[in-house]
Structure 1
Amino acid sequence: MRKLDGLKPERVFYHFEEISKIPRESYNEKEISDYLVEFGKKLNLETYQDKFYNVILRKKPAPGYENAPSIILQGHMDMVCEKENDSNHNFKTDPIQLIVEGNILKANKTTLGGDNGIALAMGMALLEDDSIKCQVELLVTTSEEVDLNGALSLEPGLLQGDMLINLDSEDEGVVTVGSAGGIEVDITLPISKYEVKDSTIYTITLDKLQGGHSGTEINQNRGNANKIMGELLSQLEKVDNFDFIEISGGSKDNAIPRSAKSIIASNSNTLEKNILAITKNISDKYATHEPNMDFQLEIAPIDKISAISQEDFHKYIKAIEKLPTGVNTWMKEYPEIVESSDNLAIVNTLDRSINIIISLRSSEPLVLNQLKEKITTVLDEVGANFEFSAGYPEWRFRAESKLRDKALEVYKKLYNSEMKVEVIHAGLECGALSQNYPNIDFISIGPNLRDVHTPGEYLEIDSTERVYNYVLELVKSMY
Structure 2
Amino acid sequence: MTQLNQLSPQPLWQFFSQICSIPHPSKHEHALSDWITQWAKSEGLSVQQDRIGNLIIKKPASSGMEHKKGVILQAHIDMVPQKNSDTEHDFTKDPIQAYVDGDWVTAKDTTLGSDNGIGMASCLAVLASKDIAHGPIEVLLTIDEEAGMTGAFGLEPGYFDGEILINTDSEEEGEVYMGCAGGVNVNVHFPIQTQPLAVAQSGYQISVSGLKGGHSGCDIHLGRGNANKIIARCLYELSQQTELDFTLSQLQGGSLRNAIPREASAQFIINDTNQQQLEQAFTALTAQIKATLAHTEPNLAISLAPIQVNQVLAKNEQQRLIAALHGCVNGVLRMSDEFAGVVETSSNLGVVKTTPQGIDIQCLVRSMDDSSRNDVQNMLESVFKLAGAQIVFDGAYPGWAPKADSDMRDLVREVYQAEFGSTPKIMMIHAGLECGLFKAVYPNWDMVSIGPTIKFPHSPDEKVHIGSVAKYWQLLVKVLEAIPVK
TM-score, scaled relative to structure 2: 0.96
Specify the code of the residue in structure 2 equivalent to 1:269: Q
Q: Paired residue for 2:195?
A: 194
Aligned residue identity for 2:482: S
Looking at structure 2, the residues matched to 352 and 455 of structure 1 have their Cα atoms a distance apart, in angstroms, of: 31
Q: Which deviates more from structure 2 when the two are superposed, residues 232-241 or residues 399-408? A: 232-241
Gaps of 5+ in 1: none
The equivalent of 2:150 in structure 1 is: 149
Which among 213, 216, 219 is matched to residue 217 of structure 1? 219
Q: Secondary structure at the match of 2:383?
A: helix
Cα distance, 1:133–1:358 mapped onto 2, change above 3 Å = closer
Matched residues, number: 477
1:427 matched to 2:428: no
Partner in structure 2 of residue 263 of structure 1? 267
Instruction: Verify: 1:418 aligned to 2:418, yes or no.
Output: no
Q: Within the alignment, does 1:380 sit opposite 2:385 as a pair?
A: yes
Contact 1:147 1:392 in 2 (8 A): no
**1:351-430 equivalences in 2 (<5 Å):** 351-430=356-435
Cα pair 1:29 1:53 within 8 Å, conserved: no
Of 338, 347, 353 in structure 1, the residue corresponding to residue 352 of structure 2 is 347
Q: Residue 313 of structure 1 aligns with which residue?
A: 318
Distance 1:101 1:289 in 2: 23
AA of the residue aligned to 1:283:
K
Once the 2 structures are TM-superposed, how far is the Cα of residue 298 of structure 1 from its aligned partner?
A: 2.2
Shift of 1:315: 0.4
- Offset at 1:296? 2.5
**Cα RMSD (Å) of the superposition?**
1.4
1:444 aligns with 2:449: yes
Q: CA deviation at 1:51?
A: 3.2
Distance 1:377 1:300 in 2: 35
Deviation at 1:53, TM superposition (A): 2.2
Match in the other structure for 2:229? 227
Q: Distance in 2 between matches of 1:63 and 1:11?
A: 21
After superposing the two structures, state which structure 1 stretch, 327-336 or 81-90, moved more.
327-336
| d(CA) in 2 for partners of 1:133, 1:363 | 34
CA distance in 2, matches of 1:377, 1:227: 18
**1:187 partner SS:** strand
- 268, 287, 291: which one pairs with 1:284? 291
For residues 25-57 of structure 1, the C-alpha deviation after alignment (integer angstroms, 9 at most, x for no partner) is 111011111111112112111111123321111
Q: Post-superposition shift, 1:370?
A: 1.2
Pick the aligned partner of 1:466 from 450, 471, 480.
471
- How far apart are the structure 1 equivalents of 2:127 and 2:81? 28
1:237-252 to 2 correspondence within 5 Å? 237-239=239-241, 240-252=244-256
1:125 is the counterpart of 2:97 = no
Is the Cα–Cα contact under 8 Å of residues 164 and 446 in structure 2 kept in the other structure?
yes
Percent identical = 36
TM score, norm. by length of structure 1: 0.97
The aligned amino acid for 1:188 is H
Alignment partner of 1:269: what SS? helix
Structure 2 CA distance for aligned equivalents of residues 5 and 366 of structure 1 = 47
More off after superposition, 168-177 vs 305-314: 305-314
Task: Report Cα offsets for 1:387-426 as digits up to 9, x if no partner.
Answer: 1004111111101111111000000000010110001111
What is the rounded CA distance, in whole Å, between the counterparts of 2:195 and 2:134 in structure 1? 72
What is the identity, as a one-letter code, of the residue corresponding to 1:397? P
Question: What's the offset of the Cα at 1:125?
Answer: 1.0
Tell me how far 1:64 sits from its aligned partner: 3.9
AA partner of residue 315 (structure 1): R
* Residue aligned with 2:37, SS: helix
**58-67 or 158-167, which moves further after superposition?**
58-67
Worse-superposed segment, 174-183 or 365-374: 365-374
Counterpart amino acid of residue 297 in structure 2: E
Once the two structures are TM-superposed, the CA of residue 274 in structure 1 deviates from its matched residue by: 2.7
How far apart, CA to CA, are the structure 1 residues paired with 2:363 and 2:194?
Answer: 25
Amino acid at match of 2:34: D
Is 1:296 the counterpart of 2:303 in the alignment?
A: yes
Partners in 2 of 1:382 and 1:102 — Cα distance? 50
Q: Distance in 2 between matches of 1:77 and 1:202?
A: 42
Distance 1:300 1:348, change over 3 A: closer
Question: Deviation per CA, 1:148-172, whole angstroms, max 9, x where unpaired?
Answer: 1101211111011100110000000
Tell which deviates more after alignment, 466-475 or 195-204. Answer: 195-204
**Paired position in structure 1 for 2:10:** 10
* Cα distance in 1 for residues equivalent to 2:182 and 2:263: 26
What is the CA distance between 1:63 and its match in structure 2?
Answer: 4.2
For residues 128 and 308 of structure 2, what CA distance do their matches in structure 1 show?
64
After superposition, what is the alpha-carbon deviation per residue over 1:37-95, rounded to whole angstroms, capped at 9, x for unaligned? 11211211111112332111111123443221111111001000000111111111000
1:311-354 CA-partner distances (Å, limit 9, x unpaired): 11110111112210111222221142111111111111222421
| Equivalent position amino acid for 2:245 in 1 | N
